[in-house]
Copies of this chain bind each other. A is one copy, B any other.
């Protein structure tokens, strides 16, 4: 394993992931964002090459056949894929990368690379569910049980992830992800890699 890491960040929709990722990138200027390729049309304000590389279905499928993607997925009729070349270049230069991809994409990165660090962001409901339900007092025991069962299902889905960050407060979530990245830089293997590289150069 080399010195760079792929921080795979996933979350259920509406969890504030995009905002968190932007804030984290602002804190680590040397870190890069993996801009996915997609066949989905750009939304207002989205720029080609910034949020996504917007390509036609024809181009995407050609890339797919050529093995250009480190992971890819189809969601609501549109394709999404991560450039293999981009990841390999970052690996070669020990550059950290953030990948904003879903759980199926994460699985493929998990299988194909040792450098993945997997972070799942969860909405605050999960963290303080019991407390909120009890405080509210208006729910029947049946409804409370159902909600806890649903939350349990959601939280068990994170099996492939190394870290779970509850987004109870955006600043807190950003701080926790920053801490994860600093801690990962202190992992023994990474410090040793850096040391060996330094004394050899």
Contact = CB atoms under 8 A, between A and B. Distances in A.
Interface in A144-173: 148, 151-152, 155-156, 158, 161-166
23 contacts: A127-B198, A128-B198, A130-B198, A148-B199, A152-B195, A156-B192, A161-B188, A163-B183, A163-B186, A163-B187, A163-B188, A165-B186, A175-B182, A176-B183, A176-B186, A178-B179, A179-B180, A179-B182, A180-B183, A180-B186, A182-B183, A183-B183, A183-B184
Contact of A179 (B120, B130, B179): B179
Given A155-B192, A179-B179, A186 B199 contact: no
A197 B192 CA distance: 37
A50 interface: no
A191 interface: yes
B187 A162 contact: yes
A182 B174 CA distance: 12
Interface residues of A, number: 38
A130 B199 contact: yes
A188 B164 contact: yes
A201 interface: yes
A191 B166 contact: yes
B182 A176 contact: yes
A68 interface: no
A195 B152 CA distance: 8
Contact of A183 (B161, B179, B195): B179
A126 interface: yes
A129 B199 contact: yes
